Amino acid sequence: MPDWLAALLITVLKGVLVALALLTTFAYMTLIERRLLARMQIRLGPNRVGPMGLLQPLADAIKSIFKEDLSVSGADKLVYTLAPIVAIGMALTAFGGIPAGPPRSLFGENPWVYNLDAGLLALLALTSVGVYGIFLGGWASGSKYPVLGALRSSAQMISYELGMGLSVLGLLMLVGSTNLLDIVGWQAANSWMVVVQVFAFALFIVSSFAEVNRTPFDLPEAEQELVAGYLTEYSAIKWALFQMAEYVNMITASALMATLFFGGWRGPAFLNGVIPGIADWPLVWLVLKIAFFLFVFIWIRATLPRLRYDQLMRLGWKLVLPLALGNTILVAFYLAFLRPAGWGLWTLGVLSLLALGVLFVLSDRVRALWNVPAVHPGGGDARPRARPAGGD
């Protein structure tokens, strides 16, 4: 067999295995999320199908497959069908570029599907294309609520992708490469990027929540306002594909945060003194870090209320974007003046931590400056409202 054909077959096999792993994780993530949300709300959650409810995802899959696939008379049939395929296809493809270990570490093969020099840029581009599935699905449904959800999703993605891109620009300036392996290697040689760029990480995680349409940024499918948003006219397997895309995007965002800011597939180096080589185990540490961030996604959903749409847009354009630009200027200042003068990376870490601390301390004044209303647990904003003229 020619070498190029063998390499192609191995790549296809790895892609299939990654897709199966992601879809299995998606199925059980739905169960884990429902059980965790139930515990946080002092109830039980699904526990009837199988031991401890472990067969609930299988029951949900059977239900979705065998439900009637409704045909909407006013829909553009081709685009209506292709939209969920585009969404899940881009979500699965994006995850393939995440390195899960050093080269040739899993059965003599590279633990990734593809490795590009422009790895980070490719992942951001693929996740951006996924919004086309949501927008086209809402537009092709031929209904008002899906179109409103599609427009919200498009505006939200555009707003927060700018902040997300600028938040990692300082990281790229420090590493000097967009290859994800180089970023992991830099962190192994220096320190985890979250220590040096904690302010950038805070901006990146906020942008990630908005990118994957999760609470408190789940405006495109706000049930109280838009029925189900862009999903309103979908049912059966097409609806399930959109749900798969959302959860796979969550997993990809978690893997990206772990790779960019928490050392990627490498564990804490000090553990090598306890068990030699444990910090370099492939796949294990990446899975643990992904699981932690998925828990954070669920925890935030159980904690925060949904923002209003005007609050969402103000936060993205008036707060996240300027602060991400400021972080880029901070890193440029360090590289241009402080590093040549002999100041170590700890200087940048202290400055980044101070910037985050100042933001928290002055949070009320920052909201007033940028006209971003505070949100209280009851929903809406905390600004006092005038009482009606007629009394209560």
Q: Is the pLDDT of residue 255 over 90?
A: yes
pLDDT digits (tens, 9 = 90+) for 80-96: 888 888 888 888 888 88
Q: Is the pLDDT of residue 56 over 60?
A: yes
Give residue 142's pLDDT band: very low, low, confident or very high (50, 70, 90). Answer: confident
Q: Please report where in the chains the tokens 């040739």 appear, as a residue.
A: 104
Residue 60 lies in a domain: no
* Between residues 53 and 260, the one the model is more confident about: 260
- Cα angle 126, 129, 134 (rounded to 5 degrees) comes to 135
Give residue 368's pLDDT band: very low, low, confident or very high (50, 70, 90). Answer: low
Q: Is the pLDDT of residue 60 over 70?
A: yes
Residue 46 lies in a domain: no
Residue 32 lies in a domain: no
In this structure, how many other beta carbons lie within 10 angstroms of the beta carbon of residue 279?
19
Over residues 271-296, mean pLDDT: 88
* Between residues 224 and 277, the one the model is more confident about: 277
pLDDT digits (tens, 9 = 90+) for 10-25: 888 888 898 899 988 8
Residue 236 lies in a domain: yes
Residue 75 lies in a domain: yes
Kind plus residue range of the DSSP H or E element containing 255: helix 236-261
pLDDT digits (tens, 9 = 90+) for 147-175: 887 888 788 888 888 889 899 999 999 99
Give CA–CA dist 368/386, Å, rounded: 19
Question: DSSP string spanning 85-105?
Answer: HHHHHHHHHHHTT---SSTT-
Give CA–CA dist 153/213, Å, rounded: 8
Poorest-confidence range of 139-148, 224-233, 244-253, 285-294? Answer: 224-233
Q: What is residue 278's predicted lDDT score, i.e. its pLDDT?
A: 86
Give CA–CA dist 168/207, Å, rounded: 11
Q: How far is CA 255 from CA 120, 223, 262, 288, 318, in A?
A: 12, 29, 10, 10, 28
Residues 344 and 190 sit within 8 Å (Cβ to Cβ): no
* Between residues 1 and 270, the one the model is more confident about: 270
Give residue 256's pLDDT band: very low, low, confident or very high (50, 70, 90). Answer: very high
Over residues 228-242, mean pLDDT: 80
Give this prediction's pTM: 0.87
Taking Cα atoms as reference points, which of 91, 157, 100 lies closest to residue 127? 91
Q: What is residue 223's predicted lDDT score, i.e. its pLDDT?
A: 63
Q: What percent of the chain has pLDDT over 90?
A: 21
Residue type, 358: V
Q: Is the pLDDT of residue 227 over 70?
A: no
Q: What is residue 387's predicted lDDT score, i.e. its pLDDT?
A: 45
Residue 386 lies in a domain: no
Residue 250 lies in a domain: yes
Look up the domain containing 222 and give its range.
Answer: 70-370
Q: What is residue 365's predicted lDDT score, i.e. its pLDDT?
A: 67
Q: What's the total number of domains in the chain?
A: 1
Q: Is the pLDDT of residue 200 over 80?
A: yes
Cβ-proximal residues to 74 (8 Å cutoff; 6+ apart), any chain: 141, 142, 143
Q: What is residue 392's predicted lDDT score, i.e. its pLDDT?
A: 41
Residue 146 lies in a domain: yes
